[in-house]
Amino acid sequence: MKLRSFLSLRPLLIFLLSFLHLSPLPVRAQDLKASLEQTAFSAAAIKWNPDTHLPSVIKLDASASLNEDDFLTNLQKAFELPAHLQFVQQKESTGPRGDRHIRYKLHYKGLELARTQYILHLKEDRVTHAHGQLVGEPTVELIPTLDKKEAYQYALSHLGLNEYEAKQGGAQMSHLSFGSDAGKEDGLLLLSSAFEDKKPENYRLVYSFDMTTMDPLRRYDVEIDAHSGELVAKYPTLYNENIPTRGTSLYNGEVDIVISDTIFKSEWPDNEAYWHLDEWNAYQGSGTSWWMADTDNFTPGGYENNWHVVLETDPISLSGSQLQLAFHHRYAMEDPDGASDFNSNYDGWDGINVRISLDGGSTWEVLTEPVPAYTCNSLWSFGAIHMEGTGIPGWAGRRDVWTQVSFDLSDYINETVNIRFDFASDAGYTSVDDNSLFGWQIDEIEIRNSSGTLYTNSGNSTNIHAYSKINWVGNIEGKFRLRETTRGGGIATINAENGLGFSDYVDFVQDTYPFMSAANQVGVGIHWASEQTYDYFLETFGRNSYDDDGGAIITYADWKEDDEINNAFWAGSFAAYGLGDGEVYGSWGAIDVVGHEISHGVTDHSANLVYHRESGALNESFSDIFGAAVEFFAEGRDKGDWLMGEDIYKDIGSIRSLLNPKARFDPDTYLGEYWFNTINTHDNGGVHTNSGVQNHWFYLLSEGGSGENDDGISFQITGIGLDDASAIAYRNLTHYLLPDSRYVDAATYSIQAAEDLFGENSQQALSVMSAWEAVGIYMDSRLMTSDTLLQFESDLNDSEYKYLSLLNKSIESLNITEFNFSDPDHFTLQPPQVLPFQLNAGDSLRLWVVFSPENDSLYDESLIIESSDPLHPTQTIHLSGLGTGVTTGLSDNYQSQPGIELSVSPNPFSEQLLISYALPRPDYITIEIRDITGKLLYQLTREASGKETVEIIWSSLPNKSHAASGGIYLLSLRTSTQVLVKKIVKQ
């Protein structure tokens, strides 16, 4: 086969009738390059971002010798970056050849720029190249108008939650993850451009909240404008002693697994219970006192969400008369106000109390009637969050002054007891929100009778111990269970079938091993698959668990909460696999599904691809890629396949196919058949559908193949094998891609990854390029159009508008040089274009073609577009227009396409506008209003059916400066298959 040369990469231009992104470049790259002559980058190869006029990729000359610090210093100076722009190192990884890769988050004046990252690549401590997102000086006001509490109320409102429901959701998520993400900083003040380009003017000051809904179980990062309370963005983040032995799995027969012969303790060790001896504000101003606080992450100290930590005495024998417990304490916790408003069964949030045990700590009861008295009768943290029920009393709020407390212990004479000082917090307000909440301090603990002292602790570590009492999973009788600690931080497989909440989940257990019980087959299969996934990433890439830091792999089998019975998901710190309905689906714990979900964790801790639109499709695709690779690893090359989820079907079927995505109605060509329009909100912009493009790329890269794609381009690919293809995909994901990367980025950096691993002219690098062309991301120039004909019909003295989008469907930039109409009197462009116009890789230019007839006849004309594409320097769009009878006024004159009705009234209008539409079937729609320059004034996306009306109050539109102006505006209604456009007039 004669391979096409890819050394000189050229652009591709494609024309689509769709809504896409506009990106002019009025400043030429050569002018920017000329300004670098006296800098460290004078000999560097630079790729420029046309939106920011800053470099997106820098490849240093071989003679350059800059370490990471020198590079960043020179970068700041050479490109005149803002003085307050900071590069904060996020993580560093080392490749198989000793190459280093440092990923930075960008901050401005101490505020993180959300999802804005920069990566340095080094060999022998010398930067060879760098890429990422550099930004100019944000223009937004950095002092928030709203405080965190106010912004949180807006977030609750936008999600339709109250505080009670939000606290429940946060507690549920923390419990399900065994506390691994408890204490995540919430309400962080950030600068975010959301889904807009990372231009300085697009950044907004936001509060970011990690929020969970319970019904259904969903998790989001929610960004709230810190000035207006507007919902800026909502990003889904729910995706979901050791004994070697064997077990019977549901789908893979007998398998090798590792189990435990230990009932895992529910307590955590002292150093994670946060009780410690400290001199800070100690009793009587000297020595040390017991203090319940985290002093590493708070100054001077504080506590976080969902804690349940205790200080427990050794056994004490009570005898004699006038028995009394006394101690001194001070505390500062969440104010109890508001608890009863959300649930009348409670009158406080976070709280503390004192308890006693008569059976060596197996059971405990709250000591009552202290002096001074408890301040609350029923604490939410103990009752609702830690599942103790209503009526648990305790102290809450603040007592800043050291105060003595006493309890009468006369009822416990002649008993041997343990005393516990018990603290619990909920999922809401903590020291993260108010650093004056220092927790609880205790000293001078003493139990006396009439004759003297029976027990004392005056701030020392003898005869008393600290624990965390979070009981994540219910204990169940059985000697052996599906847990192990030989891999990273351990693997735990939990049985969720018998309950609808974490308090009902239990271990899979047996009294003997091997694990051959039919009742445990689902758990055995998932446990084995989790172990195999860990082994795959460790043995193939040297990666220690999904986070490369030994993170515990926690999975829930036979999940049936929140209508997720027929699903599997990754929730940021644990995975869950649905029970299956038993008719179409069995258990969702198949090997490729488990590999898929845990791979979401790998993505979270590397590129962290936003789960939305193209970046979300890539996120899903990488999970499919590694899910398939894990299946081949575990089952062998002769048994594995290129289908996803085929085992879970009761009959024949699969969820997706990497070999033939169209068999499951997914695209195998970028923007081709079955491509899901990403402007729709369904499935987060089609993440599970559009993943088919990279899925098929990976299959072709591994196995090879030939055929013709949806663009009519023939291909023949030389496969490089699964191992090399996986190495390229993994390097791309972990070393190059950024949170908002798109398909053109995946193509660009997979080529770089292949060249890193195998060399610039290697077969692997050439096959990577050929495989991308096979799925519609091109290296060299081809001018293509999806529709060469635009048809118009308009009344005389009026105009009809139709969208035309020009898309650069290659990995290099392209210049549009001319627009020429054969009849410029009756056909024009809106807005008029300043030429030449540069389209960056993957970007597009949206235009309006306007037809304005003078008589009732047929107009047969054309639009000729010239570009820098050397193979197709001109592209002709045929224009067919029909002029019809004269109308008066501007009543609705748009001839709706078959099956859809659209009307607007009144038109012209002054303030109120009613948009009515009728759909033949349910669909996702987007309504937009733009001025004639293309500026967006209004957008609404939602699921719709039948006949509906939307009311718009013009003075309430977000962009009031434009909304106040009279003139002509363009209204569009987009469905999954059609776009209807209507001209409206503001008086």
Catalytic residue annotation: 597, 688
Q: Which candidate, 322, 323, 350, 325, places its Cα nearest to that of 336?
A: 350
Cis (ω within 30 of 0) for the bond into 661?
Answer: no
Euclidean distance between CA atoms 226 and 111, whole angstroms: 13
End-to-end CA distance of the chain: 65
Q: Which two tokens stand for residue 561?
A: 């909460």
DSSP conformational letter for 547: T
CB contact at 8 A, 56 and 132 = yes
Residue 700: phi and psi, rounded to 5, are -65, -40
Contact partners, residue 160, CB within 8 Å, separation at least 6: none
267: helix, coil or strand? coil
CB contact at 8 A, 688 and 618 = no
Residue with tokens 């001109």: 874
319, β-bridge pairs:
none
For every residue of 180-220, which 3-state class applies, written as one string? CCCCCCCCEEEEECCCCCCCHHHCEEEEEEEEEEECCEEEE
In 519-663, which residue ranges form alpha helices assigned H by DSSP? 521-541, 591-604, 613-635
Q: Which two tokens stand for residue 441?
A: 């301090």
Euclidean distance between CA atoms 101 and 107, whole angstroms: 19
Euclidean distance between CA atoms 30 and 52, whole angstroms: 15
Q: Which two tokens stand for residue 715?
A: 């291909």
Euclidean distance between CA atoms 102 and 130, whole angstroms: 10
DSSP conformational letter for 701: H
In 106-256, which residue ranges form alpha helices assigned H by DSSP? 148-159, 163-176
Euclidean distance between CA atoms 678 and 613, whole angstroms: 5
CB contact at 8 A, 208 and 538 = no
CB contact at 8 A, 751 and 729 = no
CB contact at 8 A, 112 and 119 = no
Euclidean distance between CA atoms 845 and 157, whole angstroms: 36
CB contact at 8 A, 555 and 584 = no
Euclidean distance between CA atoms 687 and 682, whole angstroms: 9
Residue with tokens 């210093």: 73
b/e per residue 930-949 (b: at least 16 CB within 10 A): bbbeeeebbeeeeebeeeee
Q: Which two tokens stand for residue 467?
A: 């624990």
DSSP conformational letter for 146: S
**Strand ranges for 5-81 from DSSP E:** 13-16, 45-49, 54-59
Q: Sheet of 858-867: strands edge to edge? A: 789-796, 874-886, 858-867, 814-821, 837-839
Half-sphere exposure of 96 (CA within 13 A, CB side): 14
Residue with tokens 């890269």: 701
CB contact at 8 A, 279 and 288 = yes
CB contact at 8 A, 259 and 515 = yes
CB contact at 8 A, 336 and 397 = yes
